[in-house]
Structure 1
Amino acid sequence: MRDVGKMMKQMQKLQNDMARMQEELRTERVEATAGGSVVRAVANGQGELLEITVDPSVVDPADVGMLQDLIVAAVREVQRAAKQRLEDRMRALTGGLPLPPGLI
């Protein structure tokens, strides 16, 4: 019976640690660029997009499509980087134990 109690305490600690980690990720910043830093995207550690900046010197009204492509590329990269940071933190938190799909 002690093993069950010990396991429950460990699960509670893991839940608390995960909640703390989620809050930390909410305040962390991840940055990615595209087009040689023409477009910069900033997200928090949870992948929520916070900011997009575009170098005004490269804005060409005749080629809006290129700018749109660079924005999409920067957003995808910053979201990928944020997801990787989250996965790395979860792996460190759980000691590398596999987690059910969709947990993070």
Structure 2
Amino acid sequence: MMRGMGNMQGMMKQMQKMQKEMVKAQDELNAKKFTGSSTNDLVTVTFTGDKNMKAMAINPELIDPEDPEMLQDMIVLAVNDAITKITKETEQTMGKYTKGLPGM
């Protein structure tokens, strides 16, 4: 009976250590910058890992008062590109912690 308890404590320590590592990994991801861009980099946006937009650059050639849809489309492309990169990296980074955990 006593041997099982020691094993349980060891498991709890492992879980706490893993949780600390998870939080650290998530914090590092949140601080990381991700740049998304549209076709030919006409629009580039920069997000942090927690999906906050920090910057946007628009090529002046793209600003056509006659064709606002073009600019809108390029912004959507750039934003979606950045979000996709964040999602991919989050899954790669956090996936190793959630694999094999019940309920994840």
Which TM-score tier does this pair reach, normalised by the shorter chain? Answer: 0.7 to 0.9
Give the superposed CA RMSD: 1.7
Q: Deviations over 1:42-61 (max 9, x none)?
A: 11123222211101122111
Alignment equivalent of 1:58, drawn from 47, 59, 62: 62
TM-score by length of 2: 0.84
Alignment equivalent of 1:89, drawn from 81, 86, 93: 93
Gaps of 5+ in 2: none
> What residue number does 2:28 align with?
24
TM-score by length of 1: 0.84
**SS of alignment partner, residue 34 of structure 2:** strand
Gaps of 5+ in 1: none
Higher gyration radius (CA): 2
**SS of alignment partner, residue 18 of structure 1:** helix
Give the length in aligned residue pairs: 99
* C-alpha spacing 1:98/1:45, structure 2 compared with 1 (3 Å): farther
